[in-house]
Amino acid sequence: MALSSGILALSIIGVLVAGIVTVVATIAIYLCAKVAVQMYLQKEDKQDGHRDAWLGNGAAAGSTPRATDDAEDVEMGSMSFFIEGVQNERPVRFSSQQLRGFTQGFAHKLGSGGFGVVYRGRFPNGTPVAVKVLNSTLGRRAEEQFMAEALVYEYMENGSLDRHLFGTPAPEGRAIGFEKLQEIAVGTAKAVRYLHEECQHRIIHYDIKPENVLLGADMAPKVSDFGLAKLCDREDTHLTITGARGTPGYAAPELWMPLPVTHKCDVYSYGMLLFEMLGRRRNLELGLHSRESQEWYPRWVWHRFEAGEMDAVLARAMAAGDLDATEKAARMCKVALWCVQYRPEERPSMGNVVRMLEGEEQIAAPGNPFAHLAAYSAGVTLSDDTTTDSYGSSAFTGK
């Protein structure tokens, strides 16, 4: 009798253990399958080469989906499905036929740039959009980088920042006050910070400039045009790229040299953007008779800063009033000088930039970001030893 009871107990224990093992195995299989699906979807997204446009506050502003052939078109089901996809930051594909319908046959041209023409369009639910059709004459490398035929953006009724900085006369006859300009500068910095520090994969934009900062109804900035953008893992500190990128005048020096590139190239471009916001002019204006306008504005600002003669810089920045914003203008000037440092490691991260602009972080006196220009003009090149020493002198801990 005792033996039978022992066998019965062992049988019960065996059944319980088998049940537990089965449950654990089922959970393990489920988790492995879930991870595998996620990895597959991430791989597909990277191969599709989708790029999003980002709000100034760091949130997604819409999608820059790839146009596909009719045979490859993804069934959307309804416009509500599309809106839900945009809100959830999922890229949405359109066929060329849909794009022609949205733009009424590409009838209303908004403008054009080096890579394509922008048309105004409207979704069936009435949402206005801008559709950028890329030039068919682009080279093979550029085509591979874009991985797209057309980009769809949210339509921004106040246009791009360059219209307000350099337009003559300013839109609606009034210039943006400095307080609003400072808000736009901070919002743009937060957008680039989002790309560098908050996305699952770091995104390097490569083309930060006034034309790519779009302004909504309330003048809130959104960074657009990710045609040159590149995804990279955060662990990758340096990237090797083929061919020059960016726009002359905004592109960091390392983009024009056979040197490794980091996300700090966007910081440099952002610094050049800050100079133009401070001066309300192009950094280099050719063909004008004014001696000041023919001088490279960033270096002119450095000379004023070095000599302690910042009144002229601040007066130009606050030309539209806002006389109480002197401290913010001086802060913006020092941040711009830090952002355009020649050595990438000496430039702050965009997180540092946001904190400095908002007054949450002290700003040390920047060094001369244009010392290399004097060295080159004197026939002197900087050695690798000099580079190493300069890198080690960075005032910022942000990467």
SS (H, E, C) the chain: CHHHHHHHHHHHHHHHHHHHHHHHHHHHHHHHHHHHHHHHHHHHHHHHCCECCEECCCCECCCECCEECHHHCCCCCCHHHHHHHHHCCCCCCEEHHHHHHHCCCCCCEEEECCCEEEEEEECCCCCEEEEEEECCCCCHHHHHHHCCCEEEEECCCCCEHHHHHHCCCCHHHCCCCHHHHHHHHHHHHHHHHHHHHHCCCEEECCCCCHHHEEECCCCCEEECCCCCCEEECCCCCCECCCCCCCCCCCCCHHHHCCCCECCHHHHHHHHHHHHHHHHCCCCCCCCCCCHHHHCCHHHHHHHHHHCCCCHHHHHHHCCCCCHHHHHHHHHHHHHHHHHCCCCHHHCCCHHHHHHHHCCCCCCCCCCCCCHHHHHHHCCCCCCHHHHHHHHCCCCCCCC
More confident residue, 234 or 382: 234
Q: How far apart are CA 275 and CA 329, in angstroms?
A: 11
Q: What is the pLDDT of residue 67?
A: 37
pLDDT mean across residues, the chain: 74
Q: Indicate which CATH number applies to the domain containing 312.
A: 1.10.510.10
In a domain, 38, yes or no: no
More confident residue, 364 or 26: 364
Q: Are strands 202-204 and 230-232 parallel, antiparallel or unpaired?
A: antiparallel
pLDDT, mean of residues 256-270: 89
Asked whether residue 92 falls in the same domain as residue 194, the answer is no
In this structure, the dihedral spanned by the alpha carbons of residues 249, 369, 184 and 110, taken in order and rounded to 10 degrees, is 0
Residue 192 binned pLDDT confidence (cut-offs 50, 70, 90): very high
Q: How far apart are CA 391 and CA 397, in angstroms?
A: 12
Asked whether residue 197 falls in the same domain as residue 293, the answer is yes
Q: What is the pLDDT of residue 91?
A: 57
In a domain, 74, yes or no: yes
Asked whether residue 190 falls in the same domain as residue 120, the answer is no
Structural domain of residue 360, as residue ranges? 173-211+224-399
In a domain, 360, yes or no: yes
Q: How far apart are CA 317 and CA 330, in angstroms?
A: 9
Q: Are strands 128-134 and 109-112 parallel, antiparallel or unpaired?
A: unpaired
Q: How far apart are CA 300 and CA 122, in angstroms?
A: 45
**pLDDT at residue 147 greater than cutoff 50:** no
Asked whether residue 151 falls in the same domain as residue 195, the answer is no
Q: What is the pLDDT of residue 149?
A: 55
Asked whether residue 151 falls in the same domain as residue 190, the answer is no
- Number of separate domains in the chain: 2
Residues 207, 225, 266, 322: which is the catalytic one? 207
Least confident of 32-36, 142-146, 292-296, 386-390: 386-390
Asked whether residue 261 falls in the same domain as residue 373, the answer is yes
Asked whether residue 180 falls in the same domain as residue 139, the answer is no
In a domain, 12, yes or no: no
pLDDT tens digits along 47-91: 443 333 333 433 334 333 333 333 333 334 444 544 454 445 455
Of 229, 231, 257, the C-alpha closest to 242 is 257
Asked whether residue 289 falls in the same domain as residue 202, the answer is yes
Is the preceding peptide bond at 169 cis, omega within 30 degrees of 0? Answer: yes
69 catalytically annotated: no
Q: What is the pLDDT of residue 63?
A: 36
Asked whether residue 195 falls in the same domain as residue 78, the answer is no
Q: What is the pLDDT of residue 257?
A: 82
In a domain, 362, yes or no: yes
pLDDT, mean of residues 114-126: 83
Which residues lie below 8 Å from residue 86, measured CB to CB, with a gap of 6+? 60, 62, 63, 92
More confident residue, 162 or 289: 162
Asked whether residue 199 falls in the same domain as residue 319, the answer is yes
Q: What is the pLDDT of residue 345?
A: 95
pLDDT, mean of residues 154-183: 80
pLDDT, mean of residues 288-301: 72
More confident residue, 271 or 142: 271
Find out whether 261 and 244 touch, Cβ atoms under 8 Å.
no
In a domain, 14, yes or no: no
Q: How far apart are CA 171 and CA 188, in angstroms?
A: 20
Give exposure, 111-128, as e/b (b: 16+ Cβ within 10 Å). eeeebbebbbbebeeebe
Asked whether residue 296 falls in the same domain as residue 394, the answer is yes
Asked whether residue 133 falls in the same domain as residue 275, the answer is no
Q: Which tokens go with 47?
A: 């191969």
Residue type, 163: R
pLDDT, mean of residues 315-324: 70
In a domain, 205, yes or no: yes
Q: Indicate which CATH number applies to the domain containing 113.
A: 3.30.200.20
pLDDT, mean of residues 153-159: 81
In a domain, 203, yes or no: yes
